[in-house]
């Protein structure tokens, strides 16, 4: 059973969508469960993330984790955003079942890729 937080974000996801002129885009796919995540970020000249959105084909925990992470990194310095962990996301979601922890890890991998790909 998922936490109230996971269920809420699954029903009413925030930050879902695309950023047309994104500065960085990260895409990952889990080969086992075939969930796909795409995260878009915009930054300013001071290395602050000004916006973040995502598209996803996946399970409720992966959707909820995308909502949390895109919200967390807004107005955050790029260097700091690189250090967000799956554990932090899971805490904010009030826990994930053990077999769903990889969902938060996949989201972290995607955000790191988006940051690495900043033009």
23 counts as binding ligand FES under rule CB under 6 A: no
Least Cβ distance, residue 77 to ligand FES (angstroms): 27
Question: What CA–CA distance (Å, rounded) separates 83 from 51?
Answer: 18
Nearer to ligand FES, 43 or 58 (CB): 58
Instruction: Give yes or no for a contact between 37 and 27, defined as CB atoms under 8 angstroms apart.
Output: yes
| Torsion over CA: 50, 60, 112, 118 (sign) | negative
68 binds ligand FES (CB under 6 A): no
Q: In the beta sheet, which residues pair with residue 36?
A: 29, 57
Report in angstroms how near the CB of residue 108 gets to ligand FES at its nearest. 12
The site for ligand FES (CB under 6 A) is made up of 30, 33, 35, 58-59, 61-62, 102-103, 106
């Amino acid at each position: 059973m998922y936490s109230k937080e996971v269920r809420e974000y699954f029903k009413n996801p925030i930050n879902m969508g695309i950023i047309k002129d994104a500065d960085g885009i990260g895409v990952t796919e889990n080969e086992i469960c075939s969930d796909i995540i795409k995260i878009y970020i915009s930054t300013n000249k001071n290395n602050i993330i000004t916006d973040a959105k995502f598209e996803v084909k996946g399970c409720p925990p992966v959707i909820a984790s995308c909502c949390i992470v895109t919200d967390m990194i807004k107005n955050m310095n790029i260097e700091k955003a690189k250090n967000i962990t799956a554990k932090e996301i899971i805490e904010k979601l009030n826990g994930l079942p053990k077999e769903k922890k990889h969902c938060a890890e996949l989201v972290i991998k995607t955000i790191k890729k988006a940051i690495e790909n900043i033009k």
